[in-house]
Structure 1
Amino acid sequence: MYRLPLIIVCALLSACAPMSLPTPAPSLVGGSEAQVRANQAARQFVEVVETVEPLAERECRKRTSGLNCDFQIVVDDRADLAPNAFQTVDRYGRPILAFNIGMINSVRNADELAFVMGHEAAHHILDHLAKTRESATIGAVVFAGIAAISGAEAEAVRNAEQLGAAVGARTYSKEFELEADQLGTIIAYRAGYDPVNGAKFFARIPDPGNRFLGSHPPNAARMQIVRDTAAALAGQ
């Protein structure tokens, strides 16, 4: 289970009132409108975590065997960073879902936050980190081998190895993102949120297009897989 005490989120996002209380009016909080919005963002974040994390854990245990499904949610409190969320694991293999203040404050509704959380959890459930490392290793070996066979010097071989690792790591990155969008849609939907509405944040981020070895697929492709998956779920 996650360990994200409400008091920590409140401290990070600014004077947050207890979740059981209604959102105070600006005249009652003695602060700015921005502070009130931060309070609302904090409540929304905690509510989504409490709803989505248990569902993501159940999906993880149902779909995997031997994978650590004990998600931990963490918040990066540096206010000067661009909105971001990512998935990683700690040194013990425990999955970490990380969000920064920019991301928490930039989403327009709980559906968007739930979809992002489901997407990042899906990366872990689908073991994308391990698969990316494997692809990077293969790419490094292949490129270095080609350089060595061609008679390149040691430094050139090392450069080829680094390039191969970068190319290998990106080989399946678009596919992985679409897979995470699909499973993230399922997680958000089953947690009671609207993933199609949640995926509308794609319209507010730069479209990577269909660049060679780009890390993310076109936004239109991502929206399509969300719509198709949500429609299939609704028809069950």
Structure 2
Amino acid sequence: MRRIALLLVLVLSACEVTAPPPATVPAPQSSALPPNTRVAAKNFDAVSQAVGAQARAECKRRTSGGNCDFRILIDPDKRAPANAYQTLDKQGRPVIVFTQSMIASTRNGDELAFVMGHEAAHHIRGHIARQSQNAAVGAIVFGQLAGLTGGNAAAIDAAQQLGAVVGARSYSKEFELEADQLGTIITYNAGYNPLVGVLFFDRVPDPGNRFLGSHPPNAQRVQAVNQTARQLGLIR
């Protein structure tokens, strides 16, 4: 089961809802960033303050007794690929981490706010716990099936690992759409335009609708944002 626990961490860290250790690394000073990232980092500070405040307010409104004390950090690794993810530190405090290349890839504060709001929404919706539970259930079910069909210890272990992957991915697309919906609200309440922010998807490769894919098609995500924006009165 120790191998299964490790696998669950690896499964969860394969997408934006993840629990890796880098969350404890402090953000670097803006002067330490590359020149092409420095301007974006200044924008990052303003956006993170606005989005962080709204994320905390939304978290307190939608959860009971949950940790809503968000930290928003910049990954000090200059070579890290473009990525943003939500994790938890050792105290269970929600942390949102942006790589420097991710910050530089955004074209305006609206895009940065939208991505940030999306990651905050993962925590508010409890996606790490829900995904971990799904993975654990998948591991148990697949392991039991392997045992019932006469599998040996190695076969059962392999089935558990496969079940963890399948379980973790079963609702990951739904989680992403939930985060897009709530992230739209957080972005709007923070004073940014989610309809401009969602244009970030125009530059992201479309994952399509793959079986057990971690993310839904870009068009489906844009539709979720537009529907929420319409409810907010941004679209008539």
TM-score in terms of structure 1 length: 0.86
Matched with 2:115 is 116
Instruction: Name which of 30, 33, 38 aligns with 1:13.
Output: 33
Preserved CA contact (<8 Å) 1:144 1:157: yes
> In the alignment, residue 49 of structure 1 is paired with which amino acid?
S
2 CA distance for matches of 1:88 and 1:179? 17
**Percent of paired sites with the same residue:** 55
Give 1:1-236 correspondences, 5 Å limit: 8-14=28-34, 35=35, 37-234=36-233
Matched with 2:11 is none
> In the alignment, residue 161 of structure 1 is paired with which amino acid?
Q
Preserved CA contact (<8 Å) 1:86 1:97: yes
> In the alignment, residue 153 of structure 1 is paired with which amino acid?
N
How many residues were matched structurally?
A: 211
Compared CA separation, residues 223 and 169, structure 1 to 2 (3 A)? same
Compared CA separation, residues 104 and 235, structure 1 to 2 (3 A)? closer
Segments of structure 2 that go 5 or more residues without pairing to the other structure are 1-24
Preserved CA contact (<8 Å) 1:9 1:42: no
**Deviations 1:38-84 (CA, angstroms, capped at 9, x unpaired):** 33112100010111101100000000001100001121121222110
Deviation at 1:189, TM superposition (A): 0.5
Preserved CA contact (<8 Å) 1:9 1:46: no
> In the alignment, residue 139 of structure 2 is paired with which amino acid?
A
> In the alignment, residue 13 of structure 1 is paired with which amino acid?
L
**Deviations 1:181-218 (CA, angstroms, capped at 9, x unpaired):** 00000000011101011011111111010000000000
Segments of structure 1 that go 5 or more residues without pairing to the other structure are 15-34
Q: For residue 142 of structure 2, give the secondary structure of its aligned residue in structure 1.
A: helix
> In the alignment, residue 213 of structure 1 is paired with which amino acid?
L
> In the alignment, residue 148 of structure 1 is paired with which amino acid?
G
Preserved CA contact (<8 Å) 1:143 1:164: yes
Q: Which has the higher contact order (CA 8 A, sep 6+)?
A: 2
Q: Which runs of at least 4 in structure 1 moved beyond 6 Å after TM superposition?
A: none
Preserved CA contact (<8 Å) 2:96 2:116: yes
User: How large is the Cα RMSD of the aligned pairs?
Assistant: 1.7
Deviation at 1:235, TM superposition (A): 6.4
> In the alignment, residue 231 of structure 1 is paired with which amino acid?
R
Deviation at 1:88, TM superposition (A): 0.6
